[in-house]
Amino acid sequence: MTFGEQTERELAEILTRYPDKRSALLPSLHLVQREQGYLSPAAMEEVARRLSLQPVEVLEVATFYTWFNLKPVGKHRLQVCHNLSCTLVGAERIIGTLKEELHIGENETTPDGLFTLQRVECLASCGTAPMMQVNEDYYENLTPEKARALLQQWRAAANGG
């Protein structure tokens, strides 16, 4: 199995940065997820093969770390912090708003494949709470209105608007 050209290039470069190639596991999984959106069993087996690991050694790492998706997620992975500082200033209202607007529960994806909703732990953004991470970006100082506006924006973009 080969990955995309840039992924392959970066996978090769990573291997030069560690005296032990097992250390390249997390970086490799990051690259694969960036390209494919999640870590499929086939992709994990390929990474295992390249790093001389057993597939289960890759799977146990993939399941230990919350960043990795083990199945496809929506185009916009909404990761809302529900830890203490965010909860004190309204995180639950944000989560409630998103559930209401999207008609999905936690760890679910909208039928159109646009949104996945998840609760996550502290993202080191407590001073600009409540907030969420969507894919790789932070959206801070949220209000229910801002959250709704973001959803509308993304829906419009998906509809070519």
Partner 1 sequence: MPTYEKILLKKMEQPGYTGTLPEYLAAGGYEAVRSVLGKVPPAEVIERVKRSGLRGRGGAGFPTGLKWGFVPKDAGVPKYLLCNADESEPGTFKDRQLIERDPHQLLEGMILAAYAIGCHHSYIYVRGELVYGATVLARALAEARAEGFIGKNPLGSGYDLEITLHRGAGAYICGEETALIESLEGKKGLPRIRPPFPAVKGLYQCPTVVNNVETLCNLPHILTRGPDWYASIGTEKSKGTRIFSVSGHVNKPGNYELPLTVTLRELLTENAGGVSGGRALKAVIPGGCSAPVLTPQHLDVGMDFESLAAAGSMGGSGGVIVMAEGSCMVKVGEVVARFFHHESCGQCTQCREGTAWLHKVLARIERGGGRREDLALLLDVCDNMIGKTICVLSDAAALPVASYVRYFRDEFEAHVRERRCPLAA
Q: Indicate which single residue of 37, 83, 93, 114 sits in contact with partner 1 (rule: CB under 8 A).
A: 83
Q: Which of 15/155 has CB closer to partner 1? A: 15
Q: Assess 56 for contact with partner 1 (CB under 8 A).
A: no
Parallel, antiparallel or unpaired: strands 108-109 and 137-139: unpaired
Q: What one-character-per-residue DSSP string does 58-94 give?
A: HHHHHHHSTT--SS---SEEEEEE-SHHHHHTTHHHH
CB of 111 to partner 1, least distance (A): 27
Which one-letter amino acid corresponds to residue 97? T
Beta strand segments in 4-159, E: 76-81, 108-109, 115-120, 132-134, 137-139
**11 in Cβ contact with 5 (< 8 Å):** no
| Residues forming a β-bridge with 139 | 132
Q: Indicate which single residue of 2, 5, 64, 160 sits in contact with partner 1 (rule: CB under 8 A).
A: 64
Q: Assess 70 for contact with partner 1 (CB under 8 A).
A: no
CA angle 85, 115, 156 (to 5 degrees): 110
Q: Assess 55 for contact with partner 1 (CB under 8 A).
A: no
**17 in Cβ contact with 48 (< 8 Å):** no
Q: Assess 98 for contact with partner 1 (CB under 8 A).
A: no
Interface with partner 1 in residues 125-144 (CB under 8 A): 125-129, 133, 136-138
Q: Of the ranges 94-102, 104-112, 123-131, 149-157, which one interacts with partner 1 (CB under 8 A)? A: 123-131
Q: Assess 5 for contact with partner 1 (CB under 8 A).
A: no
CB of 40 to partner 1, least distance (A): 17
Binding residues vs partner 1 (CB under 8 A)? 17-20, 22-27, 29-30, 51, 53, 57, 60-61, 64-68, 79, 82-85, 87-89, 120-129, 133, 136-138
